[in-house]
Structure 1
Amino acid sequence: MRCISCGFIKLTVFLEVPNAPMRVQVISEKNLLKDKKINLKILKCERCTLVQLSDKNYVVDDYYDDYIMSRTYSPHARKYLKGLARDFVGSFNLKNKLVIDVGCGDGYFVYALMNAKAKSIGIEPSDIATKLAREKGVKVLRNYVDDRFKLGKKADAFVTLEVFEHISNPEKLLTNVKKFLKVDGYGLVEVPSLVKALRDNRYYDFFPDHVAYYSPTSLSYMLQQNGFDVLSIKHSPDENYLIAYFQYTSKSGLSNSVQKRFVDYRDQYKDFFGKLENRKVVLWGAGAKGISSISFSNIEKNKILFCVDSDPNKRGTYLPGSHIPVFSVDRLLKKEADVVVVTAMAYKEEIIKTLMGKYGYKKSQIAVIAPEPMFLK
């Protein structure tokens, strides 16, 4: 057997679960005679570390045609999903952009994305789940995202919640997703956390519906292997799920994606200082971050009065590239500046506290340079 994620041939036994249920969906009386217990053998890939079933055929091909899994009957879950949708849309500027929910289930996350001002369409193979989704007034295509699937338009992003743990060929699914995803489009994947399952002795989380069990390492590996730049992987607030944000890179690789984000940041930086045209601006921080950002953004020297720094060895010097003069922090006592931009981000909290306490600046007069140039709120 080869790893379902990376194709490596060396897999070792991770766990054996005797007398596991054949399926974890409730069954009708007429199917009782077909039901039986099975012995699960679970393996771990020695290369990508993905934990996976030894037999991917526990689940038959048409199993998901009538599958229904919903957590949205829980108020707590609905609140979490709404927050996740807002965060995804807000983080990647997806308002009025097309976001596809692959394996959308009962459609609640499609609804949550629309509520966050994205345009969203769900794709769902289950007839029961599709009907529930359409009852919510959302657009859902009843289909598998397989080799035959055609969306007919390009999407700005896609999401898939609690799907990849069911997939025995993640590469194939992602290949088909990339057919409708724009280059540099964004993705969100949520899967149950293997870390949480092991830490809390949740051996009941191992069952045949779940072909794969992801850790941050194996999830990141799988996404990167398939042409995605992983931006972040974190646990959900209750730590039950792993949440990955990532971006589809072009054929020339990661560098183009990173280059685009750099250009976007540089332009934001220049626009921010451009809006301060008639303000008296001072920088706090003559370290590498301030020097680098001011230089690559090509901020004109006349837009900034001077820079201050608490290091006495930097006083009387100039920032390389921009040639902005550096003074003692106490120069701020002269009240020459009505805006202070903090570039020493490692000491941001300490500097902000000093600006407001000792020097009397308000939040509306203090700005930071990351994650984007902006005033304090």
Structure 2
Amino acid sequence: MPEGFNRKFLFILFVFSNIAYAFVFYFTGELGGDFKGRGYSVELISMLISLAMVLFTFWFLAVFSWNLVSRIKVNRALPEVGLENWFFDFVFLLLAIYLVIYRGLFGGGVGGHVPENGGVIFHYVAALITPSWLVAIYLFYRAQAPSVLYYVVLLLYVVSGLLSGLTGSLVLIFYLYLTKLTLSGSSFSKVKIMVFFLIGVFVYPLFRIFKVVVIEANRKGGLSEVDVADLGSFSVFLEKGWVSAYFDTLEASFQRLQMVANQYFIIDNLAIIRDLFFIYDGKLFFENVWIYSVFVKRLGIYEIGEYSFQNILALAATGNGTWSSQSGFLGHILLNPFSGFFYLLISIIFMVLLSLLAKLYDKSKYLLNYVWFLVLSYFVHGWYFATVEVLQAFIVFGGIVSCFGLKATLNRRR
């Protein structure tokens, strides 16, 4: 079990969701999650194997590997940026405003990237600094002693997530709240936490509806072009009624926490997925990273694969490879043992690097807790490309902190 109330809460939530939905899928006889309504039947033995694989993945990365990685000591630390340095907060306020504007106009993704139609300069600057990750790092770094500007940045971060349909930012903010309570050392009511959590759970479907509107608006080029009758969630409301549709959306929201359906689908359709991976020349995780893709395109070394493993999984499930479905490293090992173990090794190396950087930047362990959140949310679920962007953001953040720390040191010597 992870240490700290914040980690235990989130870990139990994810594990319980997978166990509960393993039984739900078996007794209903049909897979849910990304595969809901597609007629994929469920067998007991395969479901138990899938659940065991998922639970082992959570334990191995978020508990066992993390306990080893987090024990590595860092004897040095960068000078902390004091609360009196308002310009540091102002820099991240500008980044947060950037996120709101460009996610609203161009629908930038998880890293806050701007599509090339948003201007070449903005596109590559965003790819270089990955502003979404950078702002999230700042929110944990400054959480111990927040300023007024900090709360403005926090609000803008949530707004930017909603504008791009990334409702996962709400989970991050809730975890940040739990982390602050845990590390503050003061007593708090766990009943009160559960009440806040349940309120968030029952409000979350409304944000999911808003997410559908935003994605459709981005796809059609503006909110004015959206036909409400064409929106999936709203058409469901019109046909089934508000109450029924609300609880359908609530159930779908809970299913976002489970991975057991994805693991089951991989086991049950391994031959098909493997064939598709070779047919479409599946690309490696680092080919999603802009630095690598720009480099090979400019030098003309070779053509990048069309689909990642997550795209291939989505293609096998729905016939549409334009979206991604989570897999976990064990699912990848089943597809290709060599590349699967390679990805696992890369994940652990990145865990080490991120935890070392977190300790180098922040002695209060807020950033270290953020890294653990990333392990649970991205490493465990097999989102390898995101880990590269996070490492990139940590390096950029370290450069910013070093600049402000150096300036403070020079001022003291005068």
Query: Which TM bucket (shorter chain)?
Result: under 0.3
TM superposition score normalised by structure 1: 0.21
Ranked by relative contact order (alpha carbons within 8 Å, sequence separation 6 or more), the top structure is 2
Q: Point out the structure with max Rg over C-alpha.
A: 1
Higher helix share: 2
TM superposition score normalised by structure 2: 0.20
